[in-house]
Amino acid sequence: MNLEIQQKIKSNVYYKQYLRENSIWYKYLYLNPSLFKQFEEEVKTYYHLRTSDKISKALSTIELIQNVVTNLK
Protein backbone atom coordinates (compact mmCIF):
# COMPACT_ATOMS: atom_id res chain seq x y z
CA MET A 1 0.00 0.00 0.00
CA ASN A 2 1.51 3.33 -0.94
CA LEU A 3 2.09 6.14 1.54
CA GLU A 4 -0.59 8.42 0.15
CA ILE A 5 -3.30 5.83 0.74
CA GLN A 6 -1.94 5.06 4.19
CA GLN A 7 -2.17 8.76 5.10
CA LYS A 8 -5.75 8.96 3.86
CA ILE A 9 -6.71 5.93 5.91
CA LYS A 10 -5.00 7.22 9.05
CA SER A 11 -6.71 10.60 8.75
CA ASN A 12 -10.23 9.17 8.48
CA VAL A 13 -11.87 7.37 11.39
CA TYR A 14 -14.42 5.67 9.13
CA TYR A 15 -11.73 4.23 6.87
CA LYS A 16 -9.83 2.77 9.83
CA GLN A 17 -12.93 1.26 11.36
CA TYR A 18 -14.08 -0.22 8.07
CA LEU A 19 -10.67 -1.79 7.48
CA ARG A 20 -10.81 -3.39 10.91
CA GLU A 21 -14.19 -4.88 10.13
CA ASN A 22 -13.38 -5.85 6.53
CA SER A 23 -9.71 -6.71 6.52
CA ILE A 24 -9.77 -8.11 2.99
CA TRP A 25 -9.48 -4.51 1.83
CA TYR A 26 -5.90 -4.41 3.11
CA LYS A 27 -5.04 -6.99 0.50
CA TYR A 28 -7.01 -5.28 -2.25
CA LEU A 29 -5.44 -1.89 -1.60
CA TYR A 30 -1.98 -3.34 -1.29
CA LEU A 31 -2.22 -5.22 -4.57
CA ASN A 32 -4.12 -2.54 -6.47
CA PRO A 33 -4.04 1.01 -5.05
CA SER A 34 -6.35 2.20 -7.82
CA LEU A 35 -9.22 0.49 -5.95
CA PHE A 36 -9.14 3.24 -3.32
CA LYS A 37 -12.06 5.09 -4.96
CA GLN A 38 -14.13 1.91 -4.78
CA PHE A 39 -13.09 1.51 -1.15
CA GLU A 40 -14.20 5.09 -0.41
CA GLU A 41 -17.59 4.50 -2.01
CA GLU A 42 -18.09 1.29 -0.07
CA VAL A 43 -17.25 3.06 3.20
CA LYS A 44 -19.66 5.89 2.39
CA THR A 45 -22.40 3.41 1.60
CA TYR A 46 -21.76 1.32 4.71
CA TYR A 47 -21.74 4.28 7.11
CA HIS A 48 -24.47 6.23 5.26
CA LEU A 49 -22.17 9.16 4.46
CA ARG A 50 -23.39 9.84 0.94
CA THR A 51 -25.21 13.09 0.19
CA SER A 52 -28.42 11.23 -0.53
CA ASP A 53 -28.22 9.54 2.88
CA LYS A 54 -27.77 12.88 4.62
CA ILE A 55 -30.73 14.39 2.76
CA SER A 56 -32.87 11.38 3.61
CA LYS A 57 -31.93 11.66 7.29
CA ALA A 58 -32.74 15.40 7.31
CA LEU A 59 -36.13 14.75 5.68
CA SER A 60 -36.90 12.05 8.23
CA THR A 61 -36.06 14.44 11.05
CA ILE A 62 -38.29 17.16 9.57
CA GLU A 63 -41.13 14.67 9.18
CA LEU A 64 -40.73 13.56 12.79
CA ILE A 65 -40.84 17.17 14.01
CA GLN A 66 -43.94 17.85 11.91
CA ASN A 67 -45.67 14.81 13.41
CA VAL A 68 -44.82 15.88 16.94
CA VAL A 69 -46.08 19.43 16.33
CA THR A 70 -49.26 18.11 14.74
CA ASN A 71 -49.93 15.80 17.70
CA LEU A 72 -49.36 18.60 20.20
CA LYS A 73 -52.11 20.78 18.68
pTM for this entry: 0.75
Spatial distance between the Cα atoms of 30 and 54, rounded to a whole number of angstroms: 31
Across residues 7-11, what is the average pLDDT?
A: 96
Domain that holds residue 50: 3-72
Among residues of the chain, what percentage have pLDDT more than 90? 81
pLDDT reading at 8 higher than 90 = yes
Q: How many domains does the chain have?
A: 1
**Side chain identity, residue 53:** D
Spatial distance between the Cα atoms of 36 and 34, rounded to a whole number of angstroms: 5
pLDDT of residue 40: 96
* Neighbouring C-alpha atoms within 13 Å toward the C-beta of 55: 3
pLDDT of residue 54: 85
Q: Are 5 and 32 in contact (CB under 8 A)?
A: no
Q: How far is CA 19 from CA 8, 16, 34, 49, 62, in A?
A: 12, 5, 16, 16, 34
